Amino acid sequence: MANANLALAALADPTRRAVFERLARGPRAVGELAKGLPVSRPAVSQHLAVLKEAGLVKDHADGTRRVYRVDPAGLGAIRAWLDRFWDSSLASFKAELEAEIRAEKQS
Amino acid sequence: MSRTIAPAPVRKYVEVGAPCDRAFAFFTARMGRWWRADHSLLAGKARADVVVEPHLGGRWFERAVDGSECDWGKVLEWEPPDRVVLAWQLNADWRYDPDLITELEIRFVALGAARTRVELEHRKLENFGARAEEVRAALDSYNAWQGGLDRFAEIADREA
């Protein structure tokens, strides 16, 4: 799950999330992404590098431009969330059930 | 060209100090007792219960104290006390979507008279993928859930 944790950590940054949200609407080149964001183009490139490292986006060359898109395997982020969600829920299930059984034994 | 990448199912298990039928009943009939209050779709309203209607096709929903309800899914297979399969029909935006089905199978395996292994599998996660743009919304809610995860860590520590 290292990759999934990376994905969640990558999206904890609000600017990076904004970059990712823009990509969620369709593939974009770095320059297009930088327009309308209150950060410099090099900063956007850096955020993209982190998103790519986390497996959330992919890129490919289009002439001289580099175009980024959301990686469909970024579903991994939902999966990561569910992974933790079920850990948490089953722990709660076990704790409540066993607490009830302990209480019965004591009464 | 678009290819769907199917994510692996999420698989979990936990062992509990209870007989198989008791574990099954607690899981299904008393879900409101153990389902974490912060994992709610009632948008701020206090929860009264989480209900799994105990039959094939039964509804799975959350009910608020004011009586309003929020669907989560339905019962796809009902085999007490060994197994239940629920349809989790919450999309990546955590809204009920009757056209979306991901499957949640829970198996209860008796390990002894008072010990049960509860195995959970959440599968067909690729069905979320038909709405890739909603991944965004799911990720937005990451921060909202973080508090809950921290609390889980506390519970886990207490139990350790």
pLDDT, tens digit, for every residue of B69-91? 999 999 999 999 999 999 999 87
User: Any idea of the CA torsion for B137, B142, B145, B151, to the nearest 10 degrees?
Assistant: 170
**pLDDT per position as a tens digit, A73-98:** 566 666 767 777 888 899 999 999 99
Percent of chain B past pLDDT 70, that is, above it, reads: 73
Comparing A103 with B157, which gets the higher pLDDT?
A: A103
Which residue from B5, B26, B36 is facing A89, i.e. has the nearest CB? B36
pLDDT recorded at residue B60: 97
Q: Which residue has the higher pLDDT, B30 or B152?
A: B30
The pLDDT value given to residue B92: 63
Residue for token digits 């955590």? B94
Name the token pair of A17. Answer: 């999330």
Q: How far is A88 from chain B (nearest CA, A)?
A: 6
Question: Of A57, A62, A43, A45, which is closest to residue A6 (Cα–Cα)?
Answer: A57
Distance (Å, whole) CA A98 – CA B27: 12
Query: What is the Cα–Cα distance from A3 to B126, expressed in whole angstroms?
Result: 18
Domain coverage including residue A95:
2-106
The closest CB to that of B135, out of A75, A85, A101, belongs to A75
Q: pLDDT band for B147, please (50, 70, 90 cuts).
A: very low
- The domain B10-159 having CATH identifier 3.40.50.970: the answer here is no
| A to B CB pairs, distance under 8 Å | 121
A-contacting residues of B 121-150, CB under 8 Å? 122, 125-126, 128-129, 132-133, 135-136, 138-140, 142-143, 145, 148-149
Q: What is the ipTM of this complex?
A: 0.76
Beta carbons of A97 and B16 less than 8 Å apart: yes
What are the C-alpha distances in Å from B97 to residues B32, B73, B127?
Answer: 22, 9, 12
Query: In chain A, how many domains are there?
Result: 1
Is the pLDDT reported for residue A59 higher than 80?
A: yes
Query: Does the distance separating the beta carbons of B18 and A98 come in below 8 Å?
Result: yes
Model pTM? Answer: 0.64
CB contact under 8 A, B152 and A20: no
Question: CATH number for the domain including A29?
Answer: 1.10.10.10
